């Protein structure tokens, strides 16, 4: 039976949604020299994050939601249903950003879910099940080194103690910073399983734009592996130390970067992607051979077995690296690791059916980025809606942009999906 035959189609106020996105984007805004655009730096548990959280909570309360905050700082806004005891339908994302962000990554999922609630209120619609919208803590992982942190603890994959004891580059502990901004809540962090979880998010890739589609149905999230590799060599004078006597940590870092790309180019590991996004050397002087290099290695693969093979290849290369420079030491630290996560077929079908009935053509595609939805998939039926981005879907960059029309389309699909799941 079509959605039109069972419940009214929910209209979304796209102008109000866009205004909310614009207002939140002003918090943490900065002038980006590289692009000449205004970017956003609102990293998790910073003062800017605290200001953004208070703004969102104010909007939730204005929409009549009952707001609670858990021990991880995850924010929940609940709209009661006709049957309050029924398991709720959940929707949300995150408002923390990377250091060079745009206005849409994560924020569209949170403010879009809020706009669904506002539009339900405008239409005077009540659902059988309660609806809970959430803003998860530290999804990006850029400050404390573990992505999807808030949802991973809420879903039980990581412990609260593990999260509290994570520290940023300045040595500031997660738990202390949560207290400092006033967001260590008293709600128990472990979630009771909701009826379903749906997350709307910008695609962060080029597929929807290339296909000329505003909306996509996400089939799952690929496996992700993050490691920090620390290379310990020996400092020496750049002019007087013969090459054969050097233990050059910077050279070792470069060799790892080249090897990671060679793994990708070999084709042996399927659709492997490898990125070294952080590089630091010490003492960092032009006339001194570095005695320390620190890099991160990000591997992604939709196939768990091929991911395991790629990780084994990298581990073997790291183990053999000191043979090329006697005296070099290699240390590794696991930052994050998640397996490939398939999303619920029934919810995928619901999203696709809703989109079709609303007049939107869709495709199904896998996410190359990690999302809170992959953590929720461990405890409840879960799926995602992707929304087209411009400029080949660029993200984590001030050029990140989705049009008002596409944002409205994606959140209209989200709202009517929530209605069907909660009806």
DSSP letters spanning 386-404: EE--SGGG--SSTT----H
Residue 420 has pLDDT above 50, yes or no: yes
Q: Model confidence over 324-365: pLDDT tens digits?
A: 999 999 999 998 888 999 999 999 999 999 999 999 999 999
Round to whole Å and give the CA distance between 47 and 409.
33
**Region 20-42: what's the mean pLDDT?**
97
What the chain holds in terms of domains, given with CATH numbers, is: 3-221+340-422 (3.40.630.10), 224-338 (3.30.70.360)
Percentage of the chain beyond pLDDT 90 is 95
Confidence of residue 368 (pLDDT cuts 50, 70, 90): confident
Q: Residue count of the chain, please give it.
A: 423
- Tell me whether strands 364-367 and 273-275 are parallel, antiparallel or unpaired: unpaired
**Beta strand ranges found along 41-83 (DSSP E):** 66-69, 75-79
121's tokens: 């209120």
* pLDDT over 90 at 191, yes or no: yes
Taking the C-alpha atoms of residue 293 and residue 378, their distance in angstroms, rounded to an integer, is 37
Closest-CA residue to 93 (of 376, 400, 390, 412): 376
Residue 3, pLDDT > 90, answer no
- pLDDT at position 299 over 50: yes
Q: Are strands 364-367 and 215-221 parallel, antiparallel or unpaired?
A: parallel
Asked if pLDDT for residue 5 goes beyond 50, the answer is no
Task: For residue 185, name the pLDDT band (cuts at 50, 70, 90).
Answer: very high
d(CA 354, CA 290): 57
Chain center to CA of 287: 39
Please, what is the Cα angle at 406 between 403 and 409, to 5 degrees? Answer: 150
pLDDT of residue 336: 84
Question: Is residue 204's pLDDT more than 50?
Answer: yes
For residue range 237-286, what is the model confidence (pLDDT) as tens digits? 999 999 999 999 999 999 999 999 999 999 999 999 999 999 999 999 99
Q: pLDDT value at position 369? A: 87
How high is the pLDDT of residue 6? 42
Instruction: Count Cβ atoms below 10 Å from residue 407 Cβ, excluding itself.
Output: 25
Q: Which two tokens stand for residue 113?
A: 């879910």
| pLDDT over 80 at 8, yes or no | no
Decide if pLDDT at 181 tops 80: yes
Confidence at 151, pLDDT banded by 50, 70, 90: very high
* Kind plus residue range of the DSSP H or E element containing 288: strand 288-289
- The mean predicted confidence, pLDDT, of the chain is 95
CA distance 243 to 248: 9
Give the rounded percent of residues in the chain with a pLDDT score beyond 70. 98
């Amino acid at each position: 039976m079509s959605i039109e035959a069972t419940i009214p189609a929910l209209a979304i106020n796209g102008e109000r949604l866009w205004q909310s996105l614009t207002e939140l984007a002003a918090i943490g805004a900065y002038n980006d020299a590289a692009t000449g655009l205004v970017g956003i730096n609102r990293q998790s548990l910073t003062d800017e994050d605290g200001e953004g959280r208070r703004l969102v909570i104010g909007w939730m309360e204005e929409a009549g939601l009952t707001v609670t905050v858990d021990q991880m700082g995850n924010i929940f806004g609940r709209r009661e249903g006709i049957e309050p005891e029924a398991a709720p339908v959940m929707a949300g994302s995150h408002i923390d950003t990377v250091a060079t962000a745009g206005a849409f990554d994560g924020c569209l999922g949170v403010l879009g879910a809020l706009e669904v609630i506002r539009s339900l209120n405008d239409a005077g619609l009540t659902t059988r099940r309660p609806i809970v919208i959430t803003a998860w803590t530290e999804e990006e992982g850029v400050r404390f080194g573990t992505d999807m942190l808030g949802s991973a603890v809420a879903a039980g994959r990581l412990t609260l103690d593990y999260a509290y004891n994570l520290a940023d580059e300045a040595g500031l502990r997660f738990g202390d910073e949560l207290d400092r901004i006033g967001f260590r809540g008293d709600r128990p962090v472990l979630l009771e399983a909701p009826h379903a979880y749906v997350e709307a998010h910008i695609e962060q890739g080029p597929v929807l734009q290339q296909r000329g589609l505003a909306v996509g149905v996400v089939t799952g999230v690929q496996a992700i592996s993050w490691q920090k590799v620390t290379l310990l060599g020996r400092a020496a004078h750049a002019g007087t130390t013969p090459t054969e006597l050097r233990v050059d940590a910077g050279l070792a870092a470069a060799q790892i970067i080249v090897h990671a790309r060679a793994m990708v180019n070999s084709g042996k590991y399927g659709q492997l992607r490898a990125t070294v996004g952080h590089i630091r050397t010490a003492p960092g002087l032009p006339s001194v051979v570095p005695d320390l290099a620190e890099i991160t290695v990000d591997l992604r693969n939709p196939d768990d077995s091929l991911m395991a093979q790629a990780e084994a290849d990298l581990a073997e290369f790291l183990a053999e690296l000191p043979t090329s420079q006697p005296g070099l030491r290699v240390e590794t630290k696991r930052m994050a690791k998640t397996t490939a996560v398939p999303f619920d077929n029934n919810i995928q079908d619901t999203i696709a059916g809703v989109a079709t009935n609303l007049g939107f053509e869709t495709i199904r595609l896998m996410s190359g980025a990690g999302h809170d939805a992959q953590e929720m998939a461990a405890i409840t039926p879960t799926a995602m809606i992707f929304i087209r981005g411009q400029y080949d879907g660029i993200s984590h960059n001030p050029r990140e942009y989705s049009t008002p029309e596409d944002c409205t389309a994606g959140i209209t699909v989200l709202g009517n999906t929530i209605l069907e799941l909660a009806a």
